[in-house]
Amino acid sequence: MDQSFAARLLAMLFALSIGLACAQSAPPNPKATPAAQFDEVLERLVGPYSMDLAPTLYNDNLDRLRTLIPGGDHAREIQFRSVYCISQHWRDPKQGLAYSDDAIKRAHAVGDIASEARAMFCRTAYTLRLHGTKQGLAEVNKIIAFLQDTPEQQLLSELYLYRGTLLSELGEQAKALLDYQRARAGYRAIGITKDLDELLLQSAITYRRIGDWAQAERYFKSSVQRMQDKQDWTRTVTNLIQLGFLYDESGNPQKSLAAFEQAVAVATEHKDPTDIGGAKLGLASAQISQGQFDNALQSLTEVKAAYAEAGIDPRQDMLLLLTGQAHAGKGQHTEALAYYQKALPLIERDGNERYLALLYQAQAASEEALGRSKEALNDYRRYSTLQLGLQQKMRLEQSRLLEYEYEIRRREFENQRLRTEAAGQQKQVQSLERERRWQILALTLGVLLLVALLVLVLRQIRSAKQLRILAMTDPLTSTLSRRAVEAALDRHLVRTQQHAQPISVMMLDLDYFKAINDRHGHPIGDEVLRTVTACWKEQLRDNDALGRIGGEEFIIICPNTDAAQAQLIADRLLQTTRMMRLPEIAHDLLPITTSIGIAQGQPNETREELIARADAALYQAKQQGRNQVVL
Looking at the chain, how many residues does it have?
A: 631
Give the end of a domain, one of 441, 467, 493.
467
Tens digits of residue pLDDT in 404-459 = 555 555 555 555 555 566 566 676 666 666 777 777 877 788 778 887 788 777 78
Determine the Cα–Cα distance for residues 326 and 318; give it in Å rounded to an integer.
Answer: 12
Position 361 confidence tier, pLDDT thresholds 50, 70, 90: very high
Q: Is residue 306 part of a domain?
A: no
3-state secondary structure (DSSP) of residue 23: coil
Q: Are strands 503-510 and 545-548 parallel, antiparallel or unpaired?
A: unpaired
Burial-class residue 252 by CB neighbours within 10 Å (0-12, 13-18, 19+): middle
Report yes or no on 143 lying in a domain. yes
Question: Is there a single domain that holds both residue 487 and residue 463?
Answer: no
Q: Which domain holds residue 426?
A: 404-467
Which pairing describes strands 629-630 and 594-600: parallel, antiparallel, or unpaired?
parallel
For residue range 487-529, list pLDDT tens digits in order: 999 999 999 988 889 999 999 999 999 988 888 888 999 999 9
Report how far residue 510's alpha carbon sits from residue 528's, in angstroms, rounded to the nearest whole number: 10
Smallest Cα–Cα separation from 154: which of 126, 120, 182, 112?
182
Closest among 562, 516, 561 to 543, alpha carbons compared: 561
What is the secondary structure of 348-379 as a DSSP string? Answer: HHHT-HHHHHHHHHHHHHHHHHTT-HHHHHHH
Is there a contact between 492 and 503 (Cβ–Cβ < 8 Å)?
yes
Q: Counting runs of H as helices and runs of E as strands, what totals does the chain give?
A: 25, 5
- DSSP assignment, residue 72? T
- Beta bridge partners, 507, equal 555, 597
**β partners of residue 599:** 505
Q: Do 41 and 154 belong to one domain?
A: yes
CATH number of the domain at 200, please: 1.25.40.10
Q: Does 160 fall in a domain?
A: yes
Element (H, E) at 113: helix 113-131
Q: Do 429 and 549 reside in the same domain of the chain?
A: no
Q: Is residue 215 part of a domain?
A: no
Which of 162, 178, 210 is where one domain is finished? 210
pLDDT score at 447: 78
Q: Are residues 424 and 502 in the same domain?
A: no
Are 111 and 161 in a shared domain? yes
List of residues 6+ apart from 423 with CB closer than 8 A:
none
Which phi and psi (to 5°) does residue 598 adopt?
A: -120, 140
Q: Domain check: are 451 and 510 in the same one?
A: no
> How many domains does the chain contain in total?
3
Rounded Cα–Cα distance for residues 591 and 577 (Å): 9
| Cβ atoms 111, 8 nearer than 8 A | no
Q: Residue 20: pLDDT band by 50, 70, 90 thresholds? A: very low
3-class SS shares of the chain: helix, strand, coil, % to 5? 75, 5, 25
**Is residue 323 in a domain?**
no
Q: What is the mean pLDDT of residues 139-167?
A: 90
Per-residue confidence (pLDDT) for residue 598, from 0 to 100: 97
459 and 487 fall within a common domain:
no
Q: Tell me what pLDDT residue 22 has.
A: 33
| DSSP label at residue 562 | -
pLDDT of residue 17: 35
Residue 77 — very low, low, confident or very high, per pLDDT cuts 50/70/90? very high
Q: Report yes or no: 615 and 509 within 8 Å, Cβ to Cβ.
A: no
Residue 270: strand, helix, or coil:
coil
Whether 280 maps to a domain, the answer reads no
Radius of gyration of the chain (CA): 29
Q: What is the pTM of this model?
A: 0.55
Please, what's the largest Cα pairwise distance for the chain? 94
Rounded (10°) angle between helices 273-289 and 5-15: 140
Three-state DSSP class for residue 630: strand
* Positive/negative CA dihedral, 307, 200, 204, 141: positive
Q: Are residues 488 and 460 in the same domain?
A: no
**Is residue 185 helix, strand or coil?**
helix
Under the banding of pLDDT at 50, 70 and 90, the label for residue 2 is very low
Predicted pLDDT at 44: 81
Q: What is the mean pLDDT of residues 34-62?
A: 76
CA dihedral 101, 106, 108, 114 (to 10 degrees): -90
Residues 491 and 623 in one domain: yes
Look at residue 333 and tell me if it is in a domain: no
- Please, which pLDDT band fits residue 626 given cuts at 50, 70 and 90? very high
8 and 123, same domain (yes or no): yes
| Of 436, 467, 498, the domain-final residue | 467
Strand locations in 77-213, DSSP E?
A: none
CATH number, position 498? 3.30.70.270
* Residue 282 reports pLDDT greater than 60: yes
Mean pLDDT score of the chain: 84
In this structure, the answer to whether residues 8 and 100 fall within a common structural domain is: yes
Q: Taking phi first (over 0 means left), then psi (-120 to 50 degrees means alpha), and beta for anything else, what does residue 192 get?
A: beta
Q: What string of DSSP letters covers 300-341?
A: HHHHHHHHHHHT--S--HHHHHHHHHHHHHTT-HHHHHHHHH
- The answer to whether the CB of 115 falls within 8 A of the CB of 78 is yes
Quick one: 435 and 512 in the same domain? no
Query: Does the structure show a pLDDT above 80 at 375?
Result: yes
User: Phi and psi at residue 553, in whole multiples of 5°?
Assistant: -105, 135
DSSP assignment letter at 505:
E
Whole-number pLDDT of residue 555: 96
Is residue 557 in some structural domain? yes
DSSP track, 567-619: HHHHHHHHHHHHH---TTS-TTTS---EEEEEEE--TT--HHHHHHHHHHHHH
